[in-house]
Amino acid sequence: MSFEFDVITLFPEMFHAVTQHGVTGKANNHSIFQLTTWNPREFTKNKHRTVDDSPYGGGPGMVMLAQPLEDAIVSAKNRQIGAGISAPQVAYLSPQGQQLDHNLVVQLSKLPGLILLCGRYEGIDERLITRHVDMEISIGDYVISGGELAAMVLIDSMVRQMPGTLGDPDSADQDSFVSGLLDFPHYTRPTVYQECKVPEVLLSGHHANINRWRLQQSLGRTWQRRPDLLALKIAQGISKEEEKLLEEFKQSCTAGLKLGTRK
């Protein structure tokens, strides 16, 4: 059964970026997910088909009207119910929402479907949010002009977690955050590029040593770049081997060495 995305958006054509290109385009072709868009403009009841109005209380910008959004959401919910989803969930992409991270992506990708609400202008009439939104999701502490890009970030990250999306299922497991660490560095041909050599161990064909080096690089990078993540990982418990690899990495940094790199 494919994952059902229904997206409420004033710019449906923007979603070709996820339905027609790259990994997500392929997943869409293979029916791993289905994406249906609903344009609130099609649900307006005024002759100019306006979807926004000025804010009560004054101030700059416009606010999205509740009625066209409500009618679009009801249509999306009915479609999802028709597709066998008994309790469709509505997520509003908003800078005020819960910040998206790997755990939330995994949790959401286990649902049968999701209705994504994309705001524009200054935002959406609060009464629509109170009546219909089950969760608010932010892609970070900054403001972008509309919910579409945020929705596409969410869709892409969720689709990567769905079985069958990635050719090699192990590649998702190796990604940053999955094991609580950042990914190790990657190299490809040639073995020497602009006088920089590929770490020798990667050319050795010795898989145990390669895995050990990669784990050490993941631990080391997380220590250098995301000490908050490493602290969490350590609190959850790391093995003696991981402790040793991390210690070795730290010492090599103090000594100014880059582990496994040819000089």
Ligand X SMILES: C[S@@+](CC[C@H](N)C(=O)[O-])C[C@H]1O[C@@H](n2cnc3c(N)ncnc32)[C@H](O)[C@@H]1O
Q: Which residues are catalytic?
A: 95, 122, 160, 175
Taking phi first (over 0 means left), then psi (-120 to 50 degrees means alpha), and beta for anything else, what does residue 177 get? left
Of 69 and 219, the one with the shorter C-beta distance to ligand X is: 69
Q: Shortest Cβ distance from residue 63 to ligand X (Å)?
A: 9
Residue 60 and residue 132: Cα distance in Å, rounded?
26
Within residues 57-96, the interface with ligand X by CB under 6 A covers: 93-96
Residue 215 and residue 242: Cα distance in Å, rounded?
8
Of 112 and 146, the one with the shorter C-beta distance to ligand X is: 146
Q: Shortest Cβ distance from residue 117 to ligand X (Å)?
A: 7
Q: Could you tell me how many residues of this chain bind ligand X (CB under 6 A)?
A: 19
- Do residues 38 and 7 make contact, with C-beta atoms less than 8 angstroms apart? yes
> In this structure, what token pair is assigned to residue 13?
């054509």
Q: Shortest Cβ distance from residue 96 to ligand X (Å)?
A: 5
Q: Shortest Cβ distance from residue 7 to ligand X (Å)?
A: 12
Residue 101 and residue 161: Cα distance in Å, rounded?
13
Q: Which of 40, 1, 46, 37 is nearest to 18 (CA)?
A: 37
Q: Which of 51, 77, 59, 86 is nearest to 131 (CA)?
A: 77
Within residues 122-181, the interface with ligand X by CB under 6 A covers: 122-123, 138-140, 142-147, 150
Report the residue closest to ligand X, judged by CB.
119
Q: Which listed residue (68, 119, 180, 260) binds ligand X by CB under 6 A?
A: 119
In the complex, the residues that contact ligand X under the rule CB under 6 A are: 93-96, 118-120, 122-123, 138-140, 142-147, 150
